[in-house]
Amino acid sequence: MALASIAARAQTYTFDPLHAQDGQQIQVNATWALSGNFVATKSVTVSGSSVAIQFVQDGLNLSPNPVFITSSIDTPPLSAGIYTFTITWTPDPSEYPGPPLVPQVFTIAVRGLASGPATVPGLSVVGVASLVLLLTVAGCGALRRRLI
pLDDT in tens, 61-100: 888 888 889 999 999 999 999 999 999 999 888 888 888 8
Q: How many domains does the chain have?
A: 1
Q: Is residue 25 part of a domain?
A: yes
pTM above 0.75, yes or no: no
Q: Is residue 134 part of a domain?
A: no
Alpha helices, DSSP H, located in the chain: 2-10, 125-147
Q: Is residue 17 part of a domain?
A: yes
Pair 22, 113: CB distance under 8 Å: yes
DSSP 132: H
Q: Is residue 123 part of a domain?
A: no
Q: Is residue 142 part of a domain?
A: no
pLDDT tens per residue, range 28-68? 999 988 888 899 999 999 999 999 999 999 999 888 888 88
Length of the chain: 148
Alpha helices, DSSP H, located in 1-147: 2-10, 125-147
Q: Which domain holds residue 60?
A: 2-112
